[in-house]
Amino acid sequence: MRVAAALSCVLLVAACNDGNRVAERVSCYPACLADVVQRCPIISACQTADTTNAQISDVSPNVAIGTAACFASGEKKWQAVNAMTSDSYVAVKARDGGECYTAISAGATLRYTISVGGHTLAELNADTQGGATTVTCNGTTTEIEANDHCALLPWTATMTCDQGPCDFGALPPGAATDATTN
């Protein structure tokens, strides 16, 4: 009985710590972005694999060569550079395979359009040459003050990923492709 009680306490503390880590992870973002990053905070251990993804090449061939990251908590990230436009492309999936968000830069800049379901949620500008990184949602611009837990780019893992097997799979239904953002 005492073992069960002790185990319950340990599990409760671990759950609270995970909740705190997620809250810290989204603490520097405005609510519009924090809400989607909170669903997929990508704060657990991870493995990455550089690969060509045949399931992506069918719908978006210019971003089919990239890096997959698989997180112990179930989230997955696909990151690639568009072979034709030099746009950076990042798609983050939840553990259930649904889209968390997609971020696409305009060329080789650090200005990203972040979308959910192909519809623009936010504009993130980290291409500031020494100025503050900003996020604009619904016409309101907020400066991001990154900290040890909250990175300027929400898809940046909080831990170093190890090289290892990782299969991102297909893009989530409704996700923006390298050619579509509304």
- 29-81 per-position pLDDT tens digit: 999 999 999 999 999 999 999 999 988 877 788 888 999 999 999 999 999 99
User: What are the φ and ψ backbone dihedral angles of 81, each rounded to 5 degrees?
Assistant: -115, 125
pLDDT for 95 equals: 94
- What predicted TM-score, i.e. pTM, was given to this entire model? 0.84
Give the number of residues written for the chain: 182
* Intervals of the chain under pLDDT 70: 1-18, 178-182
Of 53, 41, 44, nearest in space to 168 by CA: 53
Determine whether 23 is exposed, middle or buried from the number of CB atoms within 10 Å of its CB (0-12, 13-18, 19+): middle
Cα separation of 166 and 47, whole Å? 6
